[in-house]
Structure 1
């Protein structure tokens, strides 16, 4: 059993019978943890901003780092060392104080002109990675899974502490304030362009089925418990998938050409991309930063289906990055899947068998050798280089039929680790990927 403390302190937890105890410790606390999370990024300021104070028995600890090469924010909340996946009053207090403080000081130091509007919270938090950890004497957890902190007094305490400490930090390090204000100003301008693009997406979404992407082969059912959409690499495989599917509950959206790497793009670029716009409308994702609504989703399962090669893996990673950055809650609610096509077909006279990995093939070869069949005698092996090589019936039997297919459901147990992984995979820095 792994017990991890958000604050970097050792937590003594007695393991139950049969479990091992492992203790993880960051000697530098949240600051060191933040450096670990952002080590792949281009930093906007050299050192994380840190806060630690206790007010009325509530301990507030915080670390902030803005990144020059990121257009999204990552906010990690902990209450009494418990990860608050759905946020809570500690996160709310931090967000309000941060936005208010940056706006006030940006005007005082003339980074915002009189005619300029105030920065929105999204403007200020663009590129921000923030960890907020509180220790509360009597924590109140809300929600079905009890992963949201509900103590109202914590919001006020965190707001006050963050506002005061950030003001001191920004006045002392005015270069950091200037860099954050400059990035927020760029975000505000990009947000205006994104707003126009979002309105186009919103108008199309309101019209729903009459404006669904032309390439989409929709299903007839609207039952979220059954419906699923395959995001399929290429027109050829998309055509086979359309022929193979069960039209009652399976929809197909072929994706042609290069998928946008949203890790390196601002919001306006995301909405202007035709493939991304098609996915947003087809999936019923709504707009970025909107609160997730499962009721607006058009399908219960979103299944990524790409070739089982390096190019297919790259396209799959691009699609996962888009879904992760655009609507993270798709993963927490279990809507994202990866289809697993076979690598080989082994024909053995009257019967054939599909192998989904090199290990599957080796095990089958061992079994055949014991039966006196080896070196190609008594069987033939077909290697599938791409989905487009399969006949529709083969695609159905191996990859799409719910009774026989292999599906991987993707969930996120550690949001911080997932964020760091996507940053490493999709950033401009090649070195860490090679390592």
Structure 2
């Protein structure tokens, strides 16, 4: 422990130092693609504003990347407040850019992907070298940075060009020390540029990849925009109606800022669906509120059309999932001040986006439905069939079977081995964590079943209606075991996995989901608990990065909770490590872990921590009484008495 705590104990990180100290707070650190994407986004913003038509990206053999555009060029004159060249300010200040002053109309970009103004400055912070060339006002200007933002070569004019010739070229050498892999995934980069081309019709994106003996080149340019792109993803032979594309933007008089709105393309098919969404050209891989707005607007339009044309059978009421379950779409939303979940901007959180997108798309889509009644009828009839099937399954649902064999859930990534005694099924919270788990697993013995949201409280659910819940239905089908009671003698010969692992986030929501799943197993599959087939993973809450010291290499430790974190720090302190030398990160959830971390902490039998859930028949009866008090709808008064008596024993993460 520190002997003295004074003003000298407080360390102030200046400039770009915070980024270099905690890169994971600002960007993905699996590879440098995201920091390069920040540069590409700046060029795309120039195109979105109507000032650029050519954007090029080149990957060099030395690991550097060049991004160039024919936009207006970053200003090079002194900044009025900072008194430094504006290009230097933009690249060395975390909160500097042309994306803040939006409401007055004085900002350079009204609609951009920039959220905090930390984009390209983060790129500079995590680069060993960054060179900028700006063509502007008839001059070619150049400035160079080294070692994460230090001036290596002052801004200077290196030549002349035609006055109408403008643009910015940035070459970045990402510092491998900050990334798990220094290699940029080429396929992901190509997909990103293709998506930008789709969203910016008429703008040409050029990708060049330098090889040892040649240069590979790909060019992306879509004149038809979203509709052409969706038609590629869902071929006409698979679609039951033609692609409908539309766009609408606010005029400033309907409660939204002028220019806010969306462009979209939608279609329906009987086969697999496709969805992709963007906000101000930024791909939102995890969706968000703008997608919710599109689904809401489409649902209201189809519902109104179906009611107007009397297409719904008596007693059938449409729900949103009935209408949008077979819908494929591409959505591009424009928001004045988008709020994302995390700096990597994979999910939109802006609440107003739901109302904005639904308002913009509903009326135009309803007009299209009434102008194309035949296609409208097809969509409405598909929705009505889905609603009728839902109502029927809600009354009594049995597991789907074909030729006596249960059809495994589509979301299940199964294990390769046929030996159930060594197979493991991981029930994972969310599609994001499910994706990491699929990459982290041992494909031979481990299967992954992602669960969407929280499984319902099944304590008092009628056994005949249990499988009406899709998540429970999928779990039962994957297990290969029928529901049963405590005193029954079920046939477990079809059990496909002898170890079922509940794997949720190490927070309150994760604990709630674990409780709901344990409720399901104790109530409806008690023999699996009694025989020791059920387990609960214990993913860590903290990650501690320990630097190299002497002959000891750098290593990474994990702490399950605050107590373990303190113990690890104390142990390292005895080994001579100062507290400031340790980097401590807190995991927000399983989805935040990269596959190697998830494998090491929760999935690899050699290193994971997994608690078995075991109970004798007598213990099961006592446990069921406790579950009845905690989960039963009619036990509120007992629950309150229990919480008053034992609430102080609970360790709550608030």
Q: TM-score scaled by structure 2? A: 0.35
Q: Note the alpha carbon deviations across 1:272-322, whole angstroms, 9 max, x for none.
A: 111111111011112435732231101110110000111100100000110
**Match 1:239 to one of 435, 440, 449:** 435
Q: In the TM superposition, what is the alpha-carbon distance from 1:397 to its structure 2 partner? A: 1.0
| 1:282 equivalenced with 2:478 (yes/no) | yes
Counterpart of 2:560?
356
- Rounded Cα–Cα distance in structure 1 between residues aligned with 2:402 and 2:640: 41
Aligned residues: 239
- Rounded Cα–Cα distance in structure 1 between residues aligned with 2:610 and 2:474: 24
SS at match of 1:285: coil
Q: Which structure has the larger Rg?
A: 2
CA RMSD, aligned part only? 2.2
**Match 2:627 to one of 417, 422, 435:** 422
Q: In the TM superposition, what is the alpha-carbon distance from 1:194 to its structure 2 partner? A: 9.1
Q: Note the alpha carbon deviations across 1:1-54, whole angstroms, 9 max, x for none.
A: xxxxxxxxxxxxxxxxxxxxxxxxxxxxxxxxxxxxxxxxxxxxxxxxxxxxxx
Q: Check conservation: 1:202, 1:286, Cα contact below 8 A.
A: no
Regions of 4+ moved over 4 Å: 193-196
SS at match of 1:381: strand
- Rounded Cα–Cα distance in structure 2 between residues aligned with 1:288 and 1:202: 18
> Equivalent residues in 2 for 1:348-427 (5 A)?
348-349=546-547, 350-374=554-578, 376-413=579-616, 414-427=619-632
Q: Check conservation: 1:286, 1:296, Cα contact below 8 A.
A: no
Distance 1:294 1:369, change over 3 A: same
Q: In the TM superposition, what is the alpha-carbon distance from 1:216 to its structure 2 partner? A: 0.4
Q: Check conservation: 1:337, 1:408, Cα contact below 8 A.
A: yes
| 1:297 equivalenced with 2:495 (yes/no) | yes
Distance 1:330 1:205, change over 3 A: farther
SS at match of 1:345: strand
- Rounded Cα–Cα distance in structure 1 between residues aligned with 2:525 and 2:631: 17
Distance 1:433 1:244, change over 3 A: farther
- Rounded Cα–Cα distance in structure 1 between residues aligned with 2:395 and 2:404: 16
Q: In the TM superposition, what is the alpha-carbon distance from 1:416 to its structure 2 partner? A: 2.4
Counterpart of 1:307?
505
Q: In the TM superposition, what is the alpha-carbon distance from 1:340 to its structure 2 partner? A: 1.0
Counterpart of 1:431?
640
Q: In the TM superposition, what is the alpha-carbon distance from 1:388 to its structure 2 partner? A: 0.4
Q: In the TM superposition, what is the alpha-carbon distance from 1:240 to its structure 2 partner? A: 0.5
- Rounded Cα–Cα distance in structure 1 between residues aligned with 2:474 and 2:400: 12
**Match 1:258 to one of 454, 473, 490:** 454
Q: Check conservation: 2:394, 2:465, Cα contact below 8 A.
A: no
Q: Note the alpha carbon deviations across 1:170-191, whole angstroms, 9 max, x for none.
A: xxxxxxxxxxxxxxxxxxxxxx
Which runs of 5 or more structure 1 residues have no equivalent in the other structure?
1-192
SS at match of 2:493: helix
Of structures 1 and 2, the one with the larger relative CO (CA 8 A, separation 6+) is 1
Q: In the TM superposition, what is the alpha-carbon distance from 1:368 to its structure 2 partner? A: 2.3
Q: Check conservation: 2:394, 2:468, Cα contact below 8 A.
A: no
- Rounded Cα–Cα distance in structure 1 between residues aligned with 2:403 and 2:569: 51
- Rounded Cα–Cα distance in structure 1 between residues aligned with 2:405 and 2:395: 17
Counterpart of 2:177?
none
SS at match of 1:224: coil
Counterpart of 2:420?
224
Distance 1:340 1:272, change over 3 A: same
Q: Check conservation: 2:484, 2:526, Cα contact below 8 A.
A: no
- Rounded Cα–Cα distance in structure 2 between residues aligned with 1:370 and 1:319: 42
**Match 1:207 to one of 392, 397, 405:** 405
Distance 1:416 1:432, change over 3 A: farther
Q: Check conservation: 1:398, 1:404, Cα contact below 8 A.
A: yes
Q: In the TM superposition, what is the alpha-carbon distance from 1:204 to its structure 2 partner? A: 5.5
Q: From the two aligned structures, give the one with the greater helix fraction.
A: 1
Distance 1:202 1:225, change over 3 A: same
Q: Check conservation: 1:194, 1:267, Cα contact below 8 A.
A: no
Q: TM-score scaled by structure 1? A: 0.52
Q: Note the alpha carbon deviations across 1:79-138, whole angstroms, 9 max, x for none.
A: xxxxxxxxxxxxxxxxxxxxxxxxxxxxxxxxxxxxxxxxxxxxxxxxxxxxxxxxxxxx
